[in-house]
């Protein structure tokens, strides 16, 4: 477990799978993400078993004090070039309560201070104004645009690539 200002990250346990599945299947969650597939118990259990065998992916439970707030996704973990893709989802009942900024602060603490990463990056839909605001607030910078990369609600939406370097985080 890693902690930061009463927030924490811990490994996903099998008994987390049901609420995690419900979070990912919630339209208010997947509507802000890229591609989406409906999850059922079998898919969720298969994902959990495969994740535990893959050194390039880490999903963590994100919490505040004794409450689960959401999940953190660390993917495309590149141990040679010390880079990884980051993301997170907050449970609907905990949104709008200023939990997103601390989520990315603890991700940066884990990535840079604990794992020695040089670069954390993410992709965000161009119309996700809340996400863009949070990412900029915690130091992520826009790197480029994947034009019309995601098909959502009958139209193509740009993906914005953002990143933060260890040297920028340390300032």
The answer, yes or no, to whether residue 65 has pLDDT greater than 80, is yes
The answer, yes or no, to whether residue 23 has pLDDT greater than 90, is no
pTM above the 0.85 mark?
yes
DSSP labels, the chain: -EEETTEEEEE--GGGHHHHHHHHHSHHHHTTSSS-----HHHHHHHHHHHTT-TT-EEEEEEETTEEEEEEEEEEEETTTTEEEEEEEE-GGGTTSS-HHHHHHHHHIIIIIIT--SEEEEEEETT-HHHHHHHHHTT-EEEEEEEEEEEETTEEEEEEEEEEEHHHHH-
pLDDT band per the 50, 70, 90 thresholds, residue 53: confident
CATH domain 2-170 topology: Aminopeptidase (3.40.630)
| Sequence spans of domains, the chain | 2-170
Q: What integer best gives the mean pLDDT of the chain?
A: 91
């Amino acid at each position: 477990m890693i902690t930061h200002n009463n927030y924490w990250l811990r490994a996903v346990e099998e008994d987390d799978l049901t609420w995690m599945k419900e979070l990912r299947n919630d339209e208010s969650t997947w509507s802000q993400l890229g591609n989406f597939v409906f999850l059922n118990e079998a898919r969720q259990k298969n994902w959990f078993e495969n994740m535990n065998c893959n050194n390039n992916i880490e999903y963590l439970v994100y919490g505040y004090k004794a409450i689960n707030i959401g999940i953190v996704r660390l993917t495309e973990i590149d141990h040679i070039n010390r880079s990884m893709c980051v993301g997170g989802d907050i449970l609907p009942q905990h949104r709008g309560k200023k939990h997103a900024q601390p989520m990315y602060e603890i991700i940066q603490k884990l990535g840079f201070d604990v794992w020695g990463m040089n670069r954390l990056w993410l992709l965000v839909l161009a119309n996700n104004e809340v996400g863009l605001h949070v990412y900029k607030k915690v130091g992520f910078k826009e790197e480029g645009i994947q034009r019309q990369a995601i098909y959502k609600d009958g139209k193509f939406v740009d993906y914005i690539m953002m990143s933060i370097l260890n040297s920028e985080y340390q300032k």
